Amino acid sequence: MRLLFIGDVVGRTGRHAVVQRLPELRERWRLDFVVVNGENAAGGFGITEAICEDFLSAGADCITLGNHAFDQREALVFIERQHRLIRPANYPAGTPGRGANLIEARNGARVLVTNIMGRVFMDPLDDPFATVDRELEACPLGMACDAIVIDIHAETTSEKYAMGHFADGRASLVVGTHTHAPTADAQILPGGTAYQSDAGMTGDYNSVIGMNKAEPLQRFTRRIPTGRFEPADGPATLCGVAVEIGGDGLATMVQPVRLGGRLREETPRDWE
């Protein structure tokens, strides 16, 4: 089974990269399942129903979110009817939407996708480890599903690594999002789970984590905000992680993906 995870889509240029490139990548790489993190897709903050549908129409099977999940207020409503849009599972009880769902891949495989928020330097949500443990026990790999993807939306690499080892052997992929910089640590953990600390963003890297440079620089150097953060609109780099999954649901290959924009290109060598 071939799976592609696409990192945080930021603004119009990131959306364009996904919509333009994903249909061709699905066919060229014979992808069975695609996950897109879309929590920064609407002007850098949240996601709208129209954007969600654009991603699904382009070939995404599932869209994950994060701390900006409900910045666009309409998401509180449409997330209830869109079962392929996944918000963090450790939000409080009663939060609209779902934190995990079992979705059928193109090859007929059953893929559990769950989104989880870290707590270090972030909102003090429910315990992410206990939440993931509950989801994995409810839908165990190789029994109730054929593959499991965990998107850990967190600030620190230590918390992401801890989640990787916590789920090792019980998930197909644990991948970090939120920090918007692709890490160089893609690996298969000892128990067979693919891992990368951050998939990187899909956006303009001539920026400050996807935002036009002027306002962040003003705030860092002068400590005075002068306006809103606005997404940079130069050519985007599509960043993500490519994973090959065996019949036991564990990873046999993991490799970073970088296409277009400013970063050096990298593609899964065995898929070309």
Mean pLDDT by 10 residues, the chain (272 residues): 98 98 97 98 96 98 97 96 97 96 98 98 95 98 97 98 98 98 98 98 96 93 90 96 98 98 94 86
Read off the amino acid at residue 176. G
68 tagged catalytic: yes
pLDDT for res 79: 97
The answer to whether the beta carbons of residues 31 and 268 sit under 8 Å apart is: no
Model pTM? 0.96
Place of tokens 């960043």: 239
Q: Which of 16, 68, 178, 180 is catalytic?
A: 68
The answer to whether the beta carbons of residues 29 and 6 sit under 8 Å apart is: no
The Cα–Cα gap between 88 and 207 comes to: 27
Q: Report the CATH number of the 2-262 domain.
A: 3.60.21.10
Please give the angle made by the CA atoms of 24, 30 and 33, to the nearest 5 degrees: 95
- Where exactly are the structural domains of the chain? 2-262
The CA-based dihedral angle spanning residues 195, 201, 206, 210, taken in that order and rounded to the nearest 10 degrees: -130
Closest Cα to residue 233, out of 212, 208, 260, 213?
212
Q: Is 117 helix (H, G, I), strand (E, B) or coil?
A: strand
pLDDT for res 270: 87
